[in-house]
Amino acid sequence: MKKVFSLLLVFLLTISSMLYATPTSAEQVFTDVSPKHSNYQDIAFLLDKGIISADKKIYGVKDIVTREEVAVMVAKAVGLDGTQRATKFKDVPKSHKNSGYIQSAVEAGIINGYTDGTFKPTTKVTRGHMAAFIARAFDLPNGTKTFKDVKKGHTAYEAVSQLAAANITTGYEDGTFKPANNLTRAHISAFLARAVKYQEGLGSTSSKLNVHFLDVGQGDSIFVQAPNGKTMLIDAGTKEYGSTVVAYLKSKNVKKLDYIVATHPDADHIGGLAAVLENFTVGEFINSGKVHTTVTYENLLQMVVDKKIPYTEPKAGDLISLDSNVKTQVLAVNAQASDMNDASIVLKLTYQNMSFLLMGDADAGIEEQIAKKYDVSATILKAGHHGSSSSSSLGFLQKVNPKAVILSYEEGNSYGHPHKEVLSNIKTVGTKAYATAQDGTIVVTTNGQSYSISAKEFIVPNTTPENPKGDVNSGTYVIPGAPTAFKNCTEMRVYYPKGVSSSHPAYATARDGDKDGWACEL
């Protein structure tokens, strides 16, 4: 019955993704700001930041803004004091509701008054004036770009070129900036949102790709910040770590996750996602499609339906539109896999000369498949299945040839991760290793040409898999220290290449398909 319910949920998710758009605060607050508006995300960003208020039902996207409005918005954006107080302008008394913000903006050198002692708060603002206000308020790089109507020598040239250098503006398609045009509320929202994101290092002006391997104990969670400011969360550990993931994302000023990827339905990967969905707007939920009957998985899918989050089940080879400069490709996924781990979504992110291969819990069989079909070479490898011997085969590591391997596991876990075989393979290929169990959350930052890792290198001990004295192919020999229970045949064959007989403690009838007394025989 549960399996039928799960299949029904997947069907509902697919239908709901076609019928509904994801609601956000801007849509709920302003009747004239729909998700289809070109500046919708900018307005939502400013609203979340408290830079614009929700005291009116209509935002007025086409309205021309005044000097007072721009001064207040910019002052709030840079955190200036808005306490009402006396100003030096005869037309802005202390009793004026925005006297504090106007005076603070003037004192900060963002905006000036007139020689007659007035501020003229209701005077309309041009695009050229706006460029000057933002350039003065934010620490922007010097630029050299010219527009047809803003060439060197133009009064707005310096400010406009700074905005262009920070990718806050690209001008119009005809090569103009139109500095004399009046400024609409939609346009000031776009310019200001981009400036704030630039200042925070979250916007398209950042040249860095940041990949965070979160410490979620015996589980997986990876947070990606693309150079263009978009974000992706891949798994979120167990349910107990949901609040940890939420707190970490909030510490990074995350308001929205553009993508959530649930690699496969195991609880140590998806358990914490419910808490994430409760706390963040999500642009798209990407799922392996593997059906599972656990309450955790069913409740998660129901949340996606209830919140009307667009839902996708990718195919191998698909690209995810995270960033035009970061190729994000699905190398493996299999909703029909007999084993949960083999259903894992495997992703490769490539940013210029740097790349990340994120293996989920994919085992050696999946490694072999993708190595035949794709270029699996990568700068950073997130080892599959927490360092289990079912993954990270020597041949695969040699093909990936990573500069660093990230191991995500909990110290003293009952599975014995990372297994000696994997550590031996890492040692053999001569790559550096980093472990969340040792350092907590690990952040890899790259500009596309080089990278840095915020962790100490994990020193791989000089150990090799134990060589048994007996015959591992006999079907009865028990390797000292080897597990006596395996999740699947792939794990068993690491220790017993030809399987085991019914007299062996690791024998399981479920893996004896032909009922001949041998499990996992080749």
Q: How many helices (H) and strands (E) does the chain have?
A: 17, 18
What is the reported pLDDT for 174? 85
Lay out the sheet containing 209-213: strands in order across: 311-312, 285-287, 259-262, 231-234, 222-225, 209-213, 442-446, 451-453
Are 248 and 365 part of one and the same domain? Answer: yes
Q: Which of 200, 224, 247 is the last residue of a domain?
A: 200
Are 183 and 238 part of one and the same domain? Answer: no
Tell me whether residue 151 is in a domain: yes
Are 189 and 217 part of one and the same domain? Answer: no
Q: Which residues of the chain have pLDDT under 70?
A: 1-28, 201-206, 462-470, 480-482, 484, 522
Are 433 and 291 part of one and the same domain? Answer: yes
User: Which helix (H) or strand (E) segment is 295 a member of?
Assistant: helix 295-306
Are 293 and 419 part of one and the same domain? Answer: yes
The number of folded domains in the chain is: 3
Start-to-end CA distance of the chain, whole Å, equals 34
Tell me whether residue 460 is in a domain: no
Tell me whether residue 502 is in a domain: yes
Tell me whether residue 11 is in a domain: no
Q: Which of 165, 200, 235 is the last residue of a domain?
A: 200
Are 337 and 405 part of one and the same domain? Answer: yes
Q: Which residue has the tokens 């007659």?
A: 116
Query: What burial class does residue 335 get, using C-beta atoms within 10 Å of its C-beta: 0-12 exposed, 13-18 middle, 19+ buried?
Result: middle
Are 223 and 105 part of one and the same domain? Answer: no
What is the reported pLDDT for 141? 79
Is the CB of residue 378 less than 8 Å from the CB of residue 355? yes
Q: Which of 454, 481, 504 is the last residue of a domain?
A: 454
Are 390 and 331 part of one and the same domain? Answer: yes
Is the CB of residue 102 less than 8 Å from the CB of residue 119? yes
Are 412 and 273 part of one and the same domain? Answer: yes
What is the reported pLDDT for 454? 86
Q: Which residue has the tokens 């040699």?
A: 398
d(CA 220, CA 266): 10
What is the reported pLDDT for 8? 43
- Measured CA distances, 466 to 90, 419, 479 (Å): 86, 11, 8
Are 289 and 403 part of one and the same domain? Answer: yes
Q: Which domain holds residue 491?
A: 468-521
- pLDDT, tens digit (0-9, with 9 covering 90-100), for 139-172: 887 888 889 999 999 999 999 998 988 888 888 8
Strand stretches in 200-325, DSSP E: 209-213, 222-225, 231-234, 256-257, 259-262, 281-282, 285-287, 311-312
Tell me whether residue 49 is in a domain: yes
Are 106 and 233 part of one and the same domain? Answer: no
- pLDDT, tens digit (0-9, with 9 covering 90-100), for 290-299: 888 899 999 9
Are 221 and 184 part of one and the same domain? Answer: no
